Structure 1
Amino acid sequence: MPFALFLLGVAVFAQGTSEFMLSGLLPDIARELHVSVADAGALTSAFAAGMVVGAPLMAGLARRWSRRGALLGFLVTFLCVHVVGAVTGSFAVLLATRVVGALANAGFLAVALVTAVGMVPPDAKGRATSMLLGGVTLACVVGVPAGALLGQLWGWRAAFWAVAVLSVPAVVAVGRSVPGGAAPQGPALGGELRVLREPGVLALLLLGALVNGATFCTFTYLAPLVTEVARLGDGWVPVVLALFGAGAFAGVRVGGLLADRRPGVTLAGGGIALCLGWAALALGAGDPAVLLGLVLVQGALAFGVGSTLISQVLYAAPGAPTLAGGFATAAFNVGAACGPWVGGVVIDAGVGGGDGYRAPVWVSAGLVALALVAGAGVRAGLRGKRGADTGVRPPA
């Protein structure tokens, strides 16, 4: 893999830390800004909503810019809004910074995905995607637990300052590693949009939204699941987040290898295991040993399946080289926006009684089950046209 691809992963690490770190900071933010934990969960949904809107929009705008110029512009904007978020005393302003930061993150990731797959052979899109998304999972392993620890030691604002500081070397790395020059020439915008409306591509985007919705529905409320259901101390929250991130890192790496060879088997087998794992976590979350073990496993399965779906969107839409990454990002963040919102709804509704923080985990199991049913239906519908796989195969 090209070294420049690794450096893009460094920038994604900084942004992934911001996207995920709120999972360990929500209770403190809620207390200081005088909102409920469920309302504070809207910060995660707002970020995801900004990603949904920003990914295709920013990818479309960036068609006119050089790759390096677009990546640097998005990253500098991302850095600045975190400085604002670190100093504000208003929940509304903090919410706004999450939206703007998400727009910048979405644009960066959409352009980075296109840049990454352009650096490797046509049959290595899965490995390129996994290298880039490795920055996200490394954020789960290192950045998110570190953010939670900073929040416990010096308050949640310290985590925002850390992301801003971490973005500085990412700016330098992108500026030095990504080639400059004029904006790349590609197909017309209308032609790319027609490709993205094909049934096989739309099906993959839907499955990505459902799987990622399940992931974020539970991930957003991991902190109260640890402290209120498993009855572990606050000090265990960074440990659980690190376990989830370690599993996610392993899942992305393995998924990247399998995505180029056996995508159908990876998605079907991994999806079934993911659904059963969420159900097992919902049942056994009160046992600390069960919780710790399943968080690791579910991180691996969720990100392994998710990264495979992203790579398959890129394989399925070669005629949309500048927009495919943006639409994949948007679809996954539709799930990331809806998942925490649904989780907050079932918590506020008192589903599960006094042990209500199990409810989002049951929602996660249901969303993956829905994805499995939808995937089976799509596979049956496309079998005659594209074979017995998901309808998407890497080039031979």
Structure 2
Amino acid sequence: MPYPLYLLALAVFAMGTSEFMLAGLLPDIASDLGITVGTAGMLTPAFAIGMIVGAPLVAALARDWPGRSSLLGFVLAFAAAHAVGALTLSFPVLFASRVVAALANAGFLAVALTTAATLVPPDRKGRALAVLLSGTTVATIAGVPGGSVLGTLLGWRATFWAVAALCLPAALGILKGIPAGRAREEAAGGPTLRAELAQLKGARLRLVMLLGALVNSATFASFTFLAPVVTDTAGLSDLWIPVALVLFGAGSLVGVTVAGRLSDRRPDLVLAVAGPLLLVGWPALALLADDPVLLLGLVFVQGALSFALGGTLITRVLYEAAGAPTMAGSYATAALNVGAAVGPLVAATTLGTTVGHLGPLWASALLVAVALLIAFPVRDVITTGRRAERIR
């Protein structure tokens, strides 16, 4: 894989750390700013909504900019938003900084996905996406636990400064390693914005976006509420929470790496194997969560299966949106983040039921089941583009 892909993955690592780190920082933020934890919790959906809305909006605004300039501008804006957040004493300003950071993140990821696809041969988009998404999986392995420890030792503002600092080598790498103007120059003279948006009318594109969002919803439904399962159901101490998160992240890295080698030529194999196993895995985790060894082992496995299946579906988005060279990345980004926003909301509704802390695991199983029920009748269409008439 081209070296510039790894520079993009470094920026995705910093952004992924920022997206997921707030869960452990909310009490400290609330205490410091004199607000309730519930109010501080509004920072999380603010980021998710900014990502969903920002991906197509910012990508459309930046479609005529040189690719390297766009990526560099988004990374610097992301760093600046975290610097403002680290300095402010006002919750509204902090809230606004998270929205700006989300818009910058969405724009960066949308352009990065498109740029990554131009850096490799047309039949290697899956492997390129795997390298890019490895930044997110490494963030769950190292960035989020590291941010939690840093916040505990030095306060939440130090974590914001650390994320801003991570953006600087990423910005330098983009400046030195990404070919000037490549992504956008290749798109020059291509389809108009209206034509690229018209790609969303395609049934196959909408289908893979929906399936990607459903699988990602299942992933974040359980990942978001994994901590009480570790402590209350398995009876482990709080120190085991970051261990479980790291195991999930490690599994995610394995899954996205392995699937990246298969998703270009054999997406059918990934869907046929990972889909049913993922469906069985979430109920198995719910039923066996009281055994710490089985819990931690299954957390690793589910992380691998979730990102293998989810990453493959997002790769299919890029293939199906090939007629939208500057907007395809934004469609993939929107699908990812709709899942990241919807999954925790669905899971939260189960916490007050009789299954308690295990509710999110059952919610994940339900979301995967819905995805597979939709996908099975048109599986050839998803994986090869054939028989499109079945879903027109």
TM-score normalised by structure 2 residue count: 0.91
8 Å Cα contact 1:85/1:94 also seen in 2: yes
Q: One-letter code of the match for 2:131?
A: M
Q: Which moved more, 1:168-177 or 1:284-293?
A: 284-293
Q: Which residue pairs with 2:233 in the alignment?
A: 229
Q: Which residue pairs with 2:148 in the alignment?
A: 148
- Whole-Å Cα distance in 2 between the matches of residues 102 and 382 of structure 1? 30
8 Å Cα contact 1:313/1:324 also seen in 2: yes
Residue 285 of structure 1 and its aligned partner are, at CA, apart by: 2.3
Alpha-carbon displacement from aligned partner over 1:308-355 (angstroms, at most 9, x marks no partner): 1111111112111111110111011111111122223333xx1236xx
Q: Which residue pairs with 1:125 in the alignment?
A: 125
Residues 231/371 of structure 1: CA separation in 2 closer, same or farther (3 Å cut):
same
Q: Which residue pairs with 1:271 in the alignment?
A: 275
Q: Name the SS of the counterpart of 2:191 in structure 1.
A: coil
Residue 238 of structure 1 and its aligned partner are, at CA, apart by: 1.7
Alignment of 1:98-117 (within 5 A): 98-117=98-117
Alpha-carbon displacement from aligned partner over 1:198-240 (angstroms, at most 9, x marks no partner): 1011000000111111111111222333233323222222211
Q: One-letter code of the match for 1:328?
A: A
- Whole-Å Cα distance in 2 between the matches of residues 243 and 192 of structure 1? 39
8 Å Cα contact 2:380/2:387 also seen in 1: no
8 Å Cα contact 1:41/1:220 also seen in 2: no
Pick the aligned partner of 2:205 from 166, 189, 201. 201
State whether structure 2 residue 322 is matched by structure 1 residue 318: yes
Alignment of 1:41-120 (within 5 A): 42-120=42-120
State whether structure 2 residue 36 is matched by structure 1 residue 35: yes
Q: Which moved more, 1:161-170 or 1:179-188?
A: 179-188
8 Å Cα contact 2:204/2:381 also seen in 1: no
8 Å Cα contact 1:196/1:324 also seen in 2: no
Aligned residues: 385
Q: Name the SS of the counterpart of 2:283 in structure 1.
A: helix
Q: Which residue pairs with 1:352 in the alignment?
A: 354
Q: Name the SS of the counterpart of 2:229 in structure 1.
A: helix
Q: Which residue pairs with 1:309 in the alignment?
A: 313
8 Å Cα contact 1:23/1:221 also seen in 2: no
Q: Name the SS of the counterpart of 1:233 in structure 2.
A: coil
8 Å Cα contact 1:229/1:285 also seen in 2: yes
Q: Name the SS of the counterpart of 2:316 in structure 1.
A: helix
Q: Name the SS of the counterpart of 2:65 in structure 1.
A: coil
8 Å Cα contact 1:45/1:341 also seen in 2: no
For structure 1, the 5+ residue unaligned runs are 392-396
Q: One-letter code of the match for 2:81?
A: V
- Whole-Å Cα distance in 2 between the matches of residues 95 and 229 of structure 1? 34
Residue 279 of structure 1 and its aligned partner are, at CA, apart by: 1.3
Q: One-letter code of the match for 1:252?
A: V
8 Å Cα contact 1:209/1:332 also seen in 2: yes
Q: Which moved more, 1:77-86 or 1:100-109?
A: 77-86
- Whole-Å Cα distance in 2 between the matches of residues 158 and 235 of structure 1? 21
8 Å Cα contact 1:45/1:340 also seen in 2: no
Residue 380 of structure 1 and its aligned partner are, at CA, apart by: 7.6
Q: Name the SS of the counterpart of 1:5 in structure 2.
A: helix
Q: Which residue pairs with 1:394 in the alignment?
A: none
Residue 20 of structure 1 and its aligned partner are, at CA, apart by: 2.0
State whether structure 2 residue 337 is matched by structure 1 residue 333: yes
Q: Which residue pairs with 2:247 in the alignment?
A: 243
State whether structure 2 residue 260 is matched by structure 1 residue 259: no
Q: Which residue pairs with 1:215 in the alignment?
A: 219
Residue 40 of structure 1 and its aligned partner are, at CA, apart by: 5.3
Q: One-letter code of the match for 2:168?
A: V
- Whole-Å Cα distance in 2 between the matches of residues 26 and 291 of structure 1? 26
Residues 282/99 of structure 1: CA separation in 2 closer, same or farther (3 Å cut):
farther
Q: One-letter code of the match for 1:159?
A: T
Residues 22/361 of structure 1: CA separation in 2 closer, same or farther (3 Å cut):
farther
Residue 91 of structure 1 and its aligned partner are, at CA, apart by: 4.7
- Whole-Å Cα distance in 1 between the matches of residues 360 and 273 of structure 2? 23
Q: Name the SS of the counterpart of 2:298 in structure 1.
A: helix
Q: One-letter code of the match for 2:60?
A: G
Q: One-letter code of the match for 2:353?
A: V
Residue 181 of structure 1 and its aligned partner are, at CA, apart by: 3.9
Residue 306 of structure 1 and its aligned partner are, at CA, apart by: 1.1
- Whole-Å Cα distance in 2 between the matches of residues 176 and 9 of structure 1? 15
Q: Which residue pairs with 2:294 in the alignment?
A: 290
Alpha-carbon displacement from aligned partner over 1:351-393 (angstroms, at most 9, x marks no partner): 236xx222122111111111111112433888997159x99xx
Residue 155 of structure 1 and its aligned partner are, at CA, apart by: 3.1
Q: One-letter code of the match for 1:266?
A: V
Residues 105/368 of structure 1: CA separation in 2 closer, same or farther (3 Å cut):
same
Q: Name the SS of the counterpart of 2:236 in structure 1.
A: coil
TM-score normalised by structure 1 residue count: 0.90
Q: Name the SS of the counterpart of 2:305 in structure 1.
A: helix
Q: One-letter code of the match for 1:351?
A: T
- Whole-Å Cα distance in 2 between the matches of residues 232 and 300 of structure 1? 23
Q: Name the SS of the counterpart of 2:261 in structure 1.
A: helix
- Whole-Å Cα distance in 2 between the matches of residues 384 and 114 of structure 1? 21
8 Å Cα contact 2:209/2:335 also seen in 1: yes
